[in-house]
Structure 1
Amino acid sequence: MARTAGDVNKRKIHSYYDYSLLFLILFLVCFGLVMIYSTSSYNAQRIYGNPTHFLEKQALFAGAGILIMIFVSKIDYRLYIKNLPIIRIKPITLLYFFCLLLQTLVLIIGPDVKGSRRWIDLGPLGRFQPSELTKIAVILFTAYIVYLAPKKLDKFLGFIRVVLFITPLLGLIVIENFSTALIIGVIMVAICFVASKKKAYFIISGLLFGALGSIFVFFVSYRSERIKVWLNVETEPKGYQILQGLYAIASGGIFGKGLGESMQKLGFIPESHNDMIFSVICEELGLFGAFALIVLYILLIWRIFIIAINATDLYGGLIATGVLAHLATQVLINIAVVTNTIPSTGIPLPFISYGGSSIMVLLFEMGIVLSVSNQIKGER
């Protein structure tokens, strides 16, 4: 039946809020807390005399992150690129230079942990990893640069222009943290690739970045050693953690040993609640649990993709694209490392691995994506 003009005028227009995405985020955070308790309770009891030591700390950061996510989701993301009233500077410009300052400070005053300077000691609050905050800065700043002149990306020089803006942040990170620099590079390239109508020059760019990355890998002793360990994980002493992780995956079978029943977490996998947590998930919940978790990540990425393609403007779409690239890359690298598909590197599993900086930054990013979804107008 044809609708009259009066019927059209009566239609209610409302702001769209992706509650499906919100539910997936909260479910993953809660699942992560359960797995952190399962994987860390033994070592927490042995070291600190409190089986919930790591759970309590992670729950505190997760709770704060959820509050930040909800608050950020109510802020119009376009405010990040508008001048502040008094100082007449854009928030993303302040964030960019703040991250530059933090990345410089971490190289000067950051504590040496296992041969690397990646954290700033905040005393009772623990350690903060500035490179996590830099991921947000790169997403927002790259999207803004592209948003100002998207047609320039149709030429290779336009892409180089974006690279020059991001290089200072990348250069400071790659000195101590190649894996995080790789993720940030992927975020930058993904945003540019989506916005560009010409794709051919990205092949040349990929080769150049690959060659540059190889220099940072093969000409740094401890990074090149990881490739040797990766190729000979059974015989190399430093392949112990990966080998124990593979044992955990193999022993889990189809449906696993049951939640809390892992043997490898009892000291065989060092700090099993961190980057290697996926192997314990496979052991306790089996391939079925691992597959279910991967499906949840796919659904989360799909929801972000839907928001990206329906965003009200290019800037919002590019922000969602950057967050999608960050999440997808981090999931792929973590699972690939745990299964020994690629050489070992320290990348946490999003929302699941223990780490305050990581989960708070991820939830901040999810808040920005929800803010983009909140601006999408639909018909009730």
Structure 2
Amino acid sequence: MPKALKTKRNRPKQQRVQGQVDMPFLLLTILLVVIGLVMLLSASFPTAWYDIKDVTNNDAFYYFKRQAVYALLGFAVMYLISKLNYRGLEGLAIYILIAAFILMLAVKIPGLGITAGGATRWLKYPVQWQPSELGKMGLILFFASRLSKREDRVPLRFNQRTVMGRFLNLLERSGFIELIPYMIVLVIMIAILAVQHHMSATIQMVVIAAAILFAAGISIRWFIIGGVVVGGALGYMIMGTDYMTDRVKLWRDPWSEPLGRGLQAIQSLMAIGSGGLFGLGLGASRQKFLYLPEPQNDFIFAIVCEELGLIGAMLILALFALLIIRGYWLALRARDRFGSLVVVGIMTLFAFQVFANVAVVTNLFPVTGISLPFFSSGGTALVIQMAEMGLVLSITRQNPIT
């Protein structure tokens, strides 16, 4: 992929026209959203009916109706964004990133932020949402906008007569100086997320950054060095942070607290196991009847496995895989490097969210709080995900004519 993206600027100049959106990508998106709504209805109605948190007023369709409204809004947002010229975002990337930083810090302002589960990650206005979602998009746009001009960068020259100058010239030739702006932005992002105790978003930011840098052709040696540094830092954070250490211990042995914090993981595995090969049937899950906590949120895939079985779950994962593969294929065909890198960032984020959610549900990963795109309950998250799909569709509309 990096070589393919790198050669785009060397191609003959092409006439650009406003074409049609990529229909396979659009249809896969619509299909997954619809299936997600059906599964959300099935997974959520017992929780909504019993209303143990006193939020649904015993309305069994509460979560479904709420998600359906946001899905309609998401389709409208996706359509509008698909009509826009994505090139305008290149100049706005730095401002979007700065706005994301400010909003991510604003969660700590009394009266604006919402605290849940010991972490403050949400803003109250205009609706409850996580500004880190805007941060992910800001990071994608910033990295893509700068790296798309990478070949136009003029190498820096320092005074060769001084020791410092020779050292800086060595760093320039190695490519280290080029990476400094990206490292600064990433460190600021990680520092803000550390204040929020938002480890899952931190991992997602690192994955996004690595994917776009790789697609832009950054030398592989920097990924090896970065992997060692990030791995060491992650290990230090886990060992030095009580809440992370507790999560890892609980992940390794959820049966140590079978009626406490380990309950969700245990019941998730029971749901998956009881589904077998063909499942119990749509709507026939037993674990969603207050056995599996929050079945409509991060652990909805466990209900999918229980009701549709291994075959049904694999078919849904196959649809996700087709959407992701189609997205990367569209990145190769985008009219310019900026569009290519934006699609790479969006699809890598999407792919990681699917993988991480399924890994948590199957207890392959510790609980991270990453939802399953298009399936998990969460209106603002759904709208943002569909807006990202709209941006991919906007890029596909700019069809080149050679």
Tell me whether the two structures share a fold, i.e. TM-score over 0.5. Answer: yes
SS for the counterpart of 1:118 is strand
AA paired with 1:299? L
Matches within 5 A, 1:147-296: 147-150=148-151, 155-176=175-196, 177-236=198-257, 237-296=260-319
User: Following TM superposition, by how much is the alpha carbon of 1:145 offset from its aligned partner in structure 2, in angstroms?
Assistant: 1.7
Residue-by-residue CA offset, 1:59-110 (whole Å, 9 max, x unaligned): 11111111111111111111112xxxxxxxx422321121111101012231
Q: Partners of 1:286 and 1:200 in 2: how far apart?
A: 43
Q: TM-score when scaled to structure 1?
A: 0.90
User: Following TM superposition, by how much is the alpha carbon of 1:210 offset from its aligned partner in structure 2, in angstroms?
Assistant: 1.1
User: Following TM superposition, by how much is the alpha carbon of 1:141 offset from its aligned partner in structure 2, in angstroms?
Assistant: 1.1
User: Following TM superposition, by how much is the alpha carbon of 1:14 offset from its aligned partner in structure 2, in angstroms?
Assistant: 7.0
After TM superposition, where is structure 1 displaced by more than 3 Å over at least 4 residues in a row?
Answer: 150-154
Percent identity between matched residues is 35
Q: Is the 8 A contact 1:252 1:285 kept in 2?
A: yes
Q: Is the 8 A contact 2:18 2:397 kept in 1?
A: no
Aligned to 1:36: 40
Q: Partners of 2:42 and 2:268 in 1: how far apart?
A: 16
Q: Partners of 1:228 and 1:51 in 2: how far apart?
A: 36
SS for the counterpart of 1:283 is helix
Matches within 5 A, 1:106-145: 106-109=107-110, 110-122=113-125, 126-145=127-146
User: Following TM superposition, by how much is the alpha carbon of 1:238 offset from its aligned partner in structure 2, in angstroms?
Assistant: 1.6
Q: Is the 8 A contact 1:16 1:377 kept in 2?
A: no
User: Following TM superposition, by how much is the alpha carbon of 1:218 offset from its aligned partner in structure 2, in angstroms?
Assistant: 1.8
Matches within 5 A, 1:15-164: 15-47=19-51, 48-81=57-90, 90-109=91-110, 110-122=113-125, 126-150=127-151, 155-164=175-184
User: CA RMSD of the aligned region, Å?
Assistant: 1.7
AA paired with 1:64? L
User: Following TM superposition, by how much is the alpha carbon of 1:196 offset from its aligned partner in structure 2, in angstroms?
Assistant: 1.6
Matches within 5 A, 1:2-13: none
AA paired with 1:119? W
Q: Is the 8 A contact 1:17 1:373 kept in 2?
A: yes
Residue-by-residue CA offset, 1:318-361 (whole Å, 9 max, x unaligned): 00000111011111111111101111110000111111221111
Change (3 A) 1:93 1:210: same
AA paired with 1:44? A
Aligned to 1:87: none
AA paired with 1:129? Q
Q: Partners of 1:190 and 1:160 in 2: how far apart?
A: 17
SS for the counterpart of 2:114 is coil
Q: Is the 8 A contact 1:142 1:166 kept in 2?
A: no
SS for the counterpart of 2:201 is helix
User: Following TM superposition, by how much is the alpha carbon of 1:197 offset from its aligned partner in structure 2, in angstroms?
Assistant: 4.9
> What are the ranges of 5 or more consecutive residues in structure 2 without an aligned counterpart?
1-16, 52-56, 156-171
AA paired with 2:129? F
Q: Partners of 2:18 and 2:401 in 1: how far apart?
A: 6
Q: Partners of 1:346 and 1:357 in 2: how far apart?
A: 15
Q: Partners of 2:298 and 2:340 in 1: how far apart?
A: 30
Q: Is the 8 A contact 1:174 1:180 kept in 2?
A: no
> What are the ranges of 5 or more consecutive residues in structure 1 without an aligned counterpart?
1-12, 82-89
User: Following TM superposition, by how much is the alpha carbon of 1:378 offset from its aligned partner in structure 2, in angstroms?
Assistant: 5.5
1:324 maps to 2:347:
yes
Q: Partners of 2:386 and 2:237 in 1: how far apart?
A: 31
Count, aligned residues: 357
